Chain A
Amino acid sequence: MGARRPYKRTMSRTSWFLTHARFKSYMLHEASSIFVALYMWLLIDGLFRLAKGPEAWAAWIAFIKHPLVVVISLIAFAFFIVHTMSWFKAVPQAMRIQTGEHFVDGKLIIGGHYAALGAFSLFVLILAGVA
């Protein structure tokens, strides 16, 4: 046993994700959530402005109509779709529904989520007077 000299390898804390395509895609996915967070911040800001009064609200509306903000919002929307899809895709793994000796097909669970998303989006659009 005296000859034992295990070789310890270390993992770079700053570049580990460059070692595999799977990790790169994971990190890009995680990083893209910054846009989602930015958009949430924009929405919450809007709520505060709405509470402040008509002038603040009008200024906020003008702000979100600015071309740069529109571009950022579109990017955020694209990532919202990406994150929604990856979240829904993970649901059957995290939430298994068992009936008797079988599990409900994951595709059904995912489909149910998309249906709920569609119904809720339609409800919001009707509420906003768009649809």
Chain B
Amino acid sequence: MSTRTIQLEVLRYRPEQDKEPVFQTYTVPCEEEWVVLDALNYVKDEIDRTLSFRWSCHMFVCGSCGFKIDGEPKLGCKAFLRDYDDKIRVEPLDNFPIERDLVVVIDDFVEKLQSIKPYIIPKEAKELSAGEYLQTPAQLKSFKQYSMCINCLLCYSACPQYGLTDQEFIGPAALALAHRYNMDSRDVGRSAREDVLASHEGVWECSFVGACSVVCPKDVDPAGAIQQAKFTSAVDYLTSMVGIGGK
């Protein structure tokens, strides 16, 4: 049935037996339309049940199956085998500790995500019965791109600043989301997010390598969002210096 056989080199780490991660190669019979995630699932189902990796939707919506595939952060469900050679190397995402095999520890990101208050902070809280907070299509357009993030963490894996600062940098996805809420016409939380956003670990830690936007599977462009937030942060700083204050 299979149309092709590939060698899948997977970085394994079993904390109970491995001192450090080691590669293990699996020979996988594949179908033409398979993605890397299909090959991993084949291994899990047919060859080695001990292999651990995260996945859920198989349609680049859930953001669970981020791996480093042939050196590039990718979603396993979006990496078509036809675009690769017969030998494919799959590793856990860079810049995060490895929990087991391809599963990384993402607690740091979750904390950072919470720190930027990723929710609408309205000027006046309304009763549910008072209806929606209205917004025009143009107001939606101003931030919609930045709301497409699926928290897959490919951008953190690609970002050298996040790795070099030993996870101190708030990072692309969280900063892009902070910018998304700051841009939202229904939100007045800019000053509440400023402590994190304008801190040394915030937008100013970004040196605009731009890798985050290259690897983003949802075209969010976190690098762009961060540069825009730098501008806003600088303006806020200057206006606060002369005492006129921002939003």
Contacts and interface: CB of A to CB of B under 8 A. Distances in A.
B71 A7 contact: no
Residue of B15, B20, B160, B228 with most chain A CB atoms under a 10 A cut-off: B160
A5 B227 CA distance: 37
Interface residues of B, number: 32
B15 A23 contact: no
B164 A4 contact: no
A6 B99 contact: yes
B4 to A, nearest CB: 27
A100 B208 CA distance: 28
Contacts of B94: 9, 11
Contacts of A52: none
A5 B15 contact: yes
Residue of B99, B209, B223 with most chain A CB atoms under a 10 A cut-off: B209
Contacts of B208: 90
A95 B228 contact: yes
Nearest to A91: B227
B197 to A, nearest CB: 16
B245 to A, nearest CB: 23
A98 B224 contact: no
A90 B226 CA distance: 12
Contacts, number: 67
A68 interface: no
B231 to A, nearest CB: 7
Interface size class of A (residues with CB under 8 A): 20 to 34
Nearest to A25: B209
Nearest to B231: A94
A13 B105 CA distance: 22
A9 B160 contact: no
A23 B160 contact: yes
B130 to A, nearest CB: 27
B138 A23 contact: no
A6 B20 CA distance: 10
Given A6-B97, A94-B231, A11 B13 contact: no
B82 interface: no
Contacts of B209: 22-23, 26
Contact of B21 (A7, A17, A20, A102): A7
B95 interface: yes
6 contacts: A3-B15, A4-B99, A5-B15, A8-B97, A98-B142, A101-B137
Given A11-B160, A22-B211, A98-B138, 18 more contacts: A3-B16, A4-B15, A6-B97, A7-B13, A13-B164, A16-B164, A17-B160, A20-B71, A22-B209, A26-B210, A93-B223, A94-B224, A94-B231, A96-B224, A96-B228, A98-B141, A98-B142, A101-B141
Which 9 A-B pairs have CB atoms at the shortest separation, nearest pair first? A94-B227, A93-B224, A6-B97, A5-B15, A11-B163, A7-B98, A8-B97, A101-B138, A101-B141
